[in-house]
Amino acid sequence: MDALALEAKGAKGEGAAAPAPAAPPPKPRPKPPKKAKRIVYFEVEILDVKTREKLLLLDKVEPTATILDIKSMFHKSNPHWYPARQSLCLDPKGKPLKDEDILQELPVGTTATFYFRDLGAQIAWGTVFLIECIGPLVLYLLFYFRLPLIYAPKYDFTASKHLVVHIACACHTFHYAKRIMETLFVHRFSHGTMPFRNIFKNCIYHWCFAAWMAYYINHPLYTTPYYGEKQVKTALGIFLFCQLGSFSIHMALRSLKLPGSKTKKIPYPTKNPFTWIFALVSCPNYTYEVGSWLGFTLMTQCVPVLFFTVVGFIQMTVWAKGKHRSYLKEFKEYPTLRSPILPFVL
């Protein structure tokens, strides 16, 4: 009985119509397109820092424009003032703005006023370094080979009998040849140019000192160092050690900067032992440079070389202190143990 009932129920179920498919869900309404953000353009006026004369008015400057972009716009209307020659500041007595500064991030309204100062004709730093180094290199060799009109005619094209004179020439040549190669292939300059007028001051300093040193070291009456060969060998070791140290520091500093980047980083010691001095000194390149000239002074025992070393040390100390202050200002985590140029002293 139960079986017959189940069969009848199954037959009835087979004859029933299939259920209607469910209705598809309603399609979501398309979102209305976002309204484009309204760009607030800036109006920029450039005034002469001395006369307050309006030199240019720029309308509809994009807020993301950099100072370099503004300099380029200014250059288009004043071709003789190329960007490297321009200095723009927000206040007549204020500091120049950086090329990478962005307009909308400056403390200005939608109408910005910049004060223009002409920096004068500019020259690339790399060119300056090359001219500074080629001069001493050539001048020293003129005295070393005793060309005519330098010493007495009987000494023309003669060679010195002292070994230290030849070693000194090799060291001097090596130093400036190294600086030329570093300028061409190693250095990455933070500043692209410098005032053209400065090249005369720099060249007079390097060229005149080179001629003064070379005249006495290669003089026919030159006297050898007091302690003889031992003094020369010791001094040569100091010179070569510091030259290798200087090259190592320049390579380490190069690795901190990508081509075209102005981002500053804290230099730290590397696996190269010559860079370990970074733990104690902010500018070891100057430390090694002074050490090289101290070695050269000890080697030649020459008063002009000593004078050049002292003057150079004073100038490099000024540069090192400035760089050290810059590091302390820009980096809160900068190592406090470091000194500018001499560990624990200066």
Tracing tokens 């910005």 back to the chain, one arrives at 112
- Per DSSP, the three-state class of 194 is strand
Q: How far apart are CA 44 and CA 58, in angstroms?
A: 5
Q: How far apart are CA 298 and CA 309, in angstroms?
A: 11
Q: Which residues pair with 66 in a beta bridge?
A: 102
Q: What is the pLDDT of residue 66?
A: 93
Identify whether the C-beta of residue 178 lies closer than 8 Å to the C-beta of residue 247. Answer: yes
- Per DSSP, the three-state class of 240 is helix
CATH code for the part of the protein at 42-120: 3.10.20.90
Q: What is the pLDDT of residue 8?
A: 44
> Which helix (DSSP H) or strand (DSSP E) does residue 45 occupy?
strand 42-48
Identify whether the C-beta of residue 114 lies closer than 8 Å to the C-beta of residue 44. Answer: yes
Q: How far is CA 42 from CA 59, 92, 96, 175, in A?
A: 7, 21, 20, 52
Residue 192's CB: how many other CB atoms inside 10 A?
A: 13
Residue 324's CB: how many other CB atoms inside 10 A?
A: 18
Per-domain residue ranges for the chain? Answer: 42-120, 121-220, 225-346
Q: How far apart are CA 213 and CA 196, in angstroms?
A: 27
Q: What is the pLDDT of residue 16?
A: 46
Q: And the tokens for 224?
A: 């050898």
Q: What is the pLDDT of residue 188?
A: 84
Which ranges of the chain have pLDDT less than 70? 1-37, 260-262
% of the chain surpassing 90 pLDDT: 73
Q: How far apart are CA 66 and CA 87, in angstroms?
A: 14
- Contact residues for 345 (Cβ-Cβ < 8 A; gap 6+): 339
Q: And the tokens for 95?
A: 């500091």
pLDDT of 101-141, one tens digit each? 999 999 988 889 999 999 999 999 899 999 999 999 999 99
Q: How far is CA 34 from CA 27, 30, 37, 39, 52, in A?
A: 20, 12, 9, 15, 45
Tracing tokens 């189940």 back to the chain, one arrives at 6
Q: What is the pLDDT of residue 258?
A: 75
pLDDT of 165-223, one tens digit each? 999 999 999 999 999 999 999 988 877 788 898 899 889 999 999 999 999 999 999 99
